[in-house]
Amino acid sequence: MIIGIIGGGASGMAAALAAAEQENIQVLLFERQARVGRKLLATGNGRCNLTNLGACGNDYFGEQPGFVNTALERYDVTKTLQWFENLGLYTVAEENGRVYPYSDQANSVVDVLRFALEKPNIQVLTGCEVMKVKFCDPGFSVITAEETFFCHKLIVAAGGLAGSKLGGSLSGYKLLQKLGHRCTPLRPSLVQIRSDWPQCVSLKGVRANCRVAISCNDTLFAASRGEIQFTEHGVSGPVIFEISRDVCRAKGNWVCTLDLLPDIADYTDRLIPMLQRKRDTDLAAEDLFTGILHNRLGRVVVKEAGISLHAPIRQLEDWELEKACRTAKALRIPLTEPMGMDAAQVTAGGIETAEFDEKTMESKLVPGLYACGEVLDIDGACGGFNLQWAWSSGRCAGHAAGKEQL
């Protein structure tokens, strides 16, 4: 039996290997880019956060988030790590549960997958974009620019629209829509949020561990603690990524308030006396928070507190020191909108899961058609959850397609 797989990304490679484990299976893996796993190389800032020890159904979103449960139970994190171990990948988990290759290089993950694909019953066709698919009942014609292939079963693992420079496209959605499936609205998730706050430019590249509260029209929308990163366009970092899925969707006055001193509950205790001691020096206000906050961030806080950067600290009144501390505890940054699909790590929305069997990933509309990974209306939280979904759903689809012989 020939199984065609569209997409040589995370879920497509997982599907190909699972299908090829079974007898009398020939896999054709179509990848439109010059090599497989291109997006994987960019994941986790080049380190590939391939899963999370805590991954479970609660970490996923979509119209039917419960759709993930069966695949995640069947191919859970332990089995996924065992699978990678068998492929020769040594992994290591960080304290927060994020798992990376021990080499700290995403290409280790791609390499072990690439080597595993070198099997007589898997044919990897790179530089081969699938333009059209026709259901022949039974089987499918898979049409590329050069050739038409026949396969008995077809798995669409073409990914989402996010990260378009790395291969994200509408292709998978369109192919599945042509076969009768519906797609929910697509939007970027795990993405930076834009701000027109002028200080962003001077803070570009600065990271801070803080408590973050997001509000809309002064009503709290989300709160979290973690690392935030300033970019020239706005704010980024894991905490921002987490809320980017839903933030700024409704019109309103969206504000991100940062507590830059999250471990200092009472600043009058140690911090104010420390600032007061700086009055014995010739330092200017621009150095008020030197030794306490990132220097550039400290200067921004002083400015936002309405204190001139050139004012000698010896001349600052107690109320001004308190105001500076209050500002550091509640720095307000206006938010405008999340950045686009180019910058996003994952697509929220996708092909409706209600039209697929959650045990096999098979279409309920077209027999022999399967879908897995990001093309489906499932997106995960930040921290290895999206790749876990790609491995679990990919293996589920590959295994089911290979098992159910015609």
Using CB under 6 A as the criterion, which residues of the chain lie in contact with ligand FAD when the complex forms? 6-12, 30-33, 38-39, 42-44, 48-49, 129-130, 157-159, 162-163, 166-167, 169, 171-172, 345-346, 373-375, 384-387, 390
Q: How far apart are CA 368 and CA 361, in angstroms?
A: 10
CB of residue 1 to ligand FAD, shortest distance in Å? 21
CA distances in angstroms from 125 to 3, 36, 349, 370, 394, listed in the order given: 13, 9, 28, 19, 18
Which residue type occupies 297?
L
Q: Which residues pair with 226 in a beta bridge?
A: 210
Q: What are phi and psi of 110, to 5 degrees?
A: -65, -40
Shorter beta-carbon distance to ligand FAD: residue 111 or 129: 129
**Closer residue to ligand FAD in complex, CB, 46/334:** 46
Residue number with CB closer to ligand FAD (162 or 228): 162
Complex with ligand FAD: residue 170 or 272, whichever CB lies closer: 170
Q: How far apart are CA 232 and CA 234, in angstroms?
A: 6
C-beta of 2: minimal distance to ligand FAD in Å? 16
Indicate the residue among 7 and 338 with the shorter CB distance to ligand FAD.
7
Least distance to ligand FAD, CB of residue 238, Å:
11
- In 3D space, the residue among 84, 117, 80, 68 whose CA is nearest the CA of residue 356 turns out to be 68
Question: Given the complex with ligand FAD, which of 6 and 366 has the nearer CB atom?
Answer: 6
180 vs 306 by CB, closer to ligand FAD: 180
Beta carbons of 2 and 150 less than 8 angstroms apart: yes
Distance CA 172, CA 375 (A): 6
Name the token pair of 210. Answer: 């803080």
For ligand FAD, the nearest residue by Cβ is 9
140 Cβ contact partners less than 8 Å away, ≥ 6 residues apart: 4, 133, 134, 150, 151, 152, 153, 154, 368, 369
Output the smallest distance, CB 267 to ligand FAD, in A: 36
Residue 156 contacts residue 175 (beta carbons within 8 Å): yes
Instruction: Identify any residues that bridge with 371 across adjacent strands, giving them in sequence order.
Output: 156
Nearer to ligand FAD, 188 or 298 (CB): 188
CB of 327 to ligand FAD, least distance (A): 33
What DSSP line would sit under 113-141, residue for residue? Answer: HHHHH-STTEEEEET--EEEEEE-SSSEE
